[in-house]
Structure 1
């Protein structure tokens, strides 16, 4: 098995993380930005955080990302993070991008969740045919896509493509997207399933507002309804090809550092980044609350209570460990792309499961603090209860379910074939 964790190069620009991780463990902790663009856009994101945080309650009430948040983030070009440069994209590295999402998640998890997916889908689209990419980005360089990739739809094979019917749920950020990527199964001559993706323009589907959730409410993860939608072959790719470097768009950008890689690790990266951002904000919010908290019956100052110190210390260590694991994993993605070293199955198993384990640690760290934050933390206006709810939602996605991931990695470590029942 190859070493799947790469060390950061010493020559990368040093950017302090003081505004985003607790001061208790950042004295020598630095972020290695590989480009001026990546470092600059992170600083621009930080400047937007007060406005995004101010909109958090409104975002929950709307049950989707507020237009203002989208406009702010598009205004600094973050939506172009993984768009090919030929269409005006930035092609920033995964570590740079992920740290932007971590920062946004501390202000509004739903905004970070939805916007992350709008960005990472551009990486996936860049692996489709050049015809599709031209169709999307030559007409609108700012176009993005939401997705719903579970194969819920019913396929009818027709000349030149398929007719698709189906109801596709959980399409985060769909209100702000011009396209959708949907999953479906086709069948070969022997009747074997061929899991595939198709790209559909906004005019071809209806958004059904059924997003009534208890957490990450502002992601706007609504349902897409497709009725007799024709999807031509140039808008279709096999999922297996997109994971093995055999898709129509693979190799179109030989000078790029981010497209010599499977789509899935980029698609999944935002989930763990959101969880980390929530956990890092929880550390700060807990400290802020404890400093002024007095026990109602005794008048004791909780800020001086040893149990609060101990819980904060352990959660701080746990969040720091989660960040370290994620940073090394994201850096490994980056190094593979730069070296045009396509990841093997061992590497992919670690990438897939490292992120889920980091999410598990972040949720545990949040739970430890919330359990000792007092009854007022359960009130609707409390930021802590929102962080608690949103944290748990980050572990509910198919890609962050650690029970699944532990089985995936365990089978890989024992040299067993993957279980096809696990995504």
Structure 2
């Protein structure tokens, strides 16, 4: 088996653009990190963060170039979100969701894409794909009613993509709705990823034209409605992309924890020991080595999955079931390794990790919450992958 960490067809220009975008995210570190406590306390990513990300082009990386977007690839999305997460988990999660929802819009018919961006190329889209609302077919479209939660990014979006059950549950789909037609209920009272403001969206008999509907089954099988089939990134595998992007904030959070512990160790006492500081204690040395290796492993799994997704899209070849199952497994492994690295680092740093003034406690909370998103679920992903290796397919979920 050949294992690639970047798609074989990536050009020097592709990699230079990716490095440039990651560099732009790194330059925002002081602003984003400086706002992280506020984001957590106020349960909302500050508008200044979103504006700075937008000005740097970091909210258009998966938007079609036809509307002024950068139209990059999934690996670039991962690296940008990872870099943002080094500063603030909630900002990174919001960045990730806004970007992947732009990618979803790129799968829709041309008229739907025009609805979003023709008059306002800066329009942002949030979303919840779980089909927790009904769509009743009427002349020209659907009438939609229901509730969706958690709706990450909704506070900074003009549109929402939301999951529906069509005609009594005969088919699952996704519809595009203006945020102005939805009600937002303040329900996001949580321990981690507090700043994402992932509140509940409510629709009451909203009309949605038929061109703003996309079948979930068609999407999972790679049958997209966009006429722009020459645009490689919008040929990427639906479920692997939807899962993998959520691992990116975990990578950055874990790296942030490692950076903090390594930085503080030489000046931090090793209480109740004869060691002058934590850095000279073998227990700390072993802990940071183990954590760093787990973080490396998390990156390797995530980047391998991204490389396979990106290369298949570039080759216009939709990954088969087994390849998609492995991508879900890679996502779960990346999330678990990152989360375990943070657990080790918090223990090595000591009880002071949980002081409210210590960023480690927020990193830990954000990781614990974000890594448990249902589509990332490592146990489910492991079952899917194990069964696929044994030739058993399709009996766990259709989200593969």
- TM-score bucket (shorter structure): over 0.9
Q: In the alignment, what sits opposite 2:4?
A: 6
1:40 to 2, 16, 20: 20
Q: In the alignment, what sits opposite 2:394?
A: 418
- Confirm whether residue 259 of structure 1 aligns to residue 234 of structure 2: yes
SS at match of 1:397: coil
In the TM superposition, residue 270 of structure 1 has moved relative to its aligned partner by 2.5
Give distance in 1, aligned partners of 2:397 and 2:229: 34
SS at match of 2:233: coil
- Confirm whether residue 273 of structure 1 aligns to residue 248 of structure 2: yes
1:131 to 100, 107, 111: 111
Give distance in 1, aligned partners of 2:5 and 2:196: 34
The answer to whether the 8 Å contact 1:182/1:197 transfers is yes
Give distance in 2, aligned partners of 1:39 and 1:288: 25
What does 1:18-417 correspond to in 2, within 5 Å? 34-187=14-167, 193-249=170-226, 251-254=227-230, 256-297=231-272, 300=275, 301-417=277-393
In the TM superposition, residue 296 of structure 1 has moved relative to its aligned partner by 4.7
In the TM superposition, residue 246 of structure 1 has moved relative to its aligned partner by 2.1
SS at match of 1:227: strand
SS at match of 2:130: coil
SS at match of 1:269: helix
In the TM superposition, residue 4 of structure 1 has moved relative to its aligned partner by 7.6
Deviations 1:170-213 (A, max 9, x none): 000101001011111124xxx77311000100111011111111
Give distance in 1, aligned partners of 2:143 and 2:392: 37
Give distance in 2, aligned partners of 1:267 and 1:120: 7
**Backbone CA RMSD of aligned residues:** 2.0
Q: In the alignment, what sits opposite 1:29?
A: none
In the TM superposition, residue 343 of structure 1 has moved relative to its aligned partner by 1.0
SS at match of 1:418: coil
SS at match of 2:208: strand
Give distance in 2, aligned partners of 1:71 and 1:315: 34
The answer to whether the 8 Å contact 1:214/1:389 transfers is yes
The answer to whether the 8 Å contact 1:33/1:96 transfers is no
TM (norm. structure 1) is 0.89
The answer to whether the 8 Å contact 1:206/1:225 transfers is yes
The answer to whether the 8 Å contact 1:171/1:221 transfers is yes
The answer to whether the 8 Å contact 2:7/2:310 transfers is no
Give distance in 2, aligned partners of 1:9 and 1:342: 15
Q: How many residues align?
A: 398
Give distance in 1, aligned partners of 2:85 and 2:114: 32
The answer to whether the 8 Å contact 1:394/1:400 transfers is no
Give distance in 2, aligned partners of 1:214 and 1:268: 22
Deviations 1:279-325 (A, max 9, x none): 11111111122221114555742221111111111111111111112
Deviations 1:228-287 (A, max 9, x none): 1111111101011112232321x4141x23112233333333211111111111111111
Considering fraction of residues, name the structure with more helix.
Answer: 2
SS at match of 2:147: strand
Structure 1, gaps ≥5 residues long? 14-31
TM (norm. structure 2) is 0.94
Deviations 1:88-142 (A, max 9, x none): 1111122122111111011001100011110111111111111111111111101
Structure 2, gaps ≥5 residues long? none
Give distance in 2, aligned partners of 1:155 and 1:321: 42
The answer to whether the 8 Å contact 1:64/1:173 transfers is no
